[in-house]
A and B are shown apart, each in its own frame.
Chain A
Amino acid sequence: MSEALDHGLWPWLALILFGFLPSEVWRMLSVFLARGIDESSPWLAWVRAVATALLAGVVGKLLLSPNGALATLPLWGRLGPLAVGMIAFFAIRRSLFAAILAGEAAIIAAGYWTN
């Protein structure tokens, strides 16, 4: 299989037919769904809340059922650094940079702690 993937048009076709098109269809559909909605529509508040909740759900799942190197840490080693990052965020003028720096430092520490 690996050999077939290395040559010719097949990997490009596979990416477009089974990756790009099935994914892109939703974005294009949304262009039409967005047509009748203007910026002040009350629907927009609901759609935005759904999008925000979805994104929060993505993050929750990344931490609860992680893959790769994150999966080698225990649950406290993933949720603890998130808490540390958010404490830094609120403590240091709601700074995104502070949150990332503190959270990352905490997860590296957790990584070496459990090594």
Chain B
Amino acid sequence: MISAAPYDPLTAEAAEDLGGRTRPRWFVEGARQALSGPMFVVAVSLLSVGGLARDAGFSVEIAVASTILLWAGPAQVLFFGAVAAKTSWPAIAVTISLSSVRFVPMVVSLLPMLRTKRTGLPTLMLAAHCIAVTVWAEGVRRIPLVPRDGRLAFFFGFSFICFLGTSISTAIGYVLIGELPRPLAACLLFMTPIYFVATLTRNAKRPIDRWALVLGLAMAPLTETFAPRGLDLMALGLVAGTGAWLIQRTLDARVSA
């Protein structure tokens, strides 16, 4: 069933709405957009994980598999770092789990943008697996521009290219890391901070987004000293996010009063 009407977000729920493209074309469009920049950022940010895996005594296959299965740079750094430090396995599992709590708000906010009434559970679970910080930050901005029925195809195309590029860079990092001069290694590690601050700033359209960004950054030194280890990031997210939300509510109330 193909709607003859031009794309209109208000009637998007009513009929099959693909904005004039087929699903495979939306997959390719997602892949193209990932290749236009975001893929290189995730790829660079995962280079160091390969080196860590080698230092911890794992094979290159395990290093690449950790990228595909964990799909979370910080969790991978924790995993290989903890194994290298001979941490007990249960302690490793708990630390990893705590670091991945941060995916909850990301998945909960992105899935409602992606699914249609017909989307099945396995598809939703696969989509949830693809969500990591870069895919989330880019998805929040790009997905609303895609008509509803093309969104999952677009999202999977985008994620597929990110997985592919990052798997390759993990393997490259496995072979190369440790041989880079210090300023260049710092440059690779700095990619993540500068990219996320710029992306979040570009994504910020309303005061709530700007306040969440500013409060989140400002609270980082506080949680460093006050919050319990492992839970500090989640506490920061809840306090700074709720603060930003309250500010927006106050502003909205003032406008409507």
Contacts and interface: CB of A to CB of B under 8 A. Distances in A.
Given A30-B106, A115-B182, 18 more contacts: A5-B56, A5-B57, A19-B96, A23-B97, A30-B128, A34-B108, A47-B105, A50-B212, A50-B242, A52-B209, A52-B212, A55-B133, A63-B220, A68-B186, A81-B190, A85-B198, A100-B41, A107-B186
B74 A58 contact: yes
A48 B236 contact: no
B236 A20 contact: no
A78 B193 CA distance: 10
B79 A96 contact: no
11 contacts: A12-B65, A19-B79, A23-B96, A26-B100, A31-B125, A52-B216, A53-B236, A54-B237, A57-B219, A72-B186, A96-B202
Nearest to B41: A100
B104 A22 contact: no
Contacts of A1: 57, 86
Interface string A8-21: 00011011111111
A39 to B, nearest CB: 5
Interface residues of B, number: 101
Contacts of A46: 241-242, 245
B104 A30 contact: yes
A31 B241 contact: no
Per DSSP, chain A at the interface is: helix
A91 interface: no
Interface in A49-92: 49-70, 72-73, 78, 81-82, 85-86, 89
A59 B192 contact: yes
Nearest to A68: B189
A57 to B, nearest CB: 4
Nearest to A16: B69
A56 B57 contact: no
Contact of A69 (B58, B75, B189, B237): B189
Interface string B206-220: 001101111111111
| A-B CB proximity, top 6 nearest | A60-B220, A111-B183, A56-B216, A50-B241, A54-B237, A30-B107
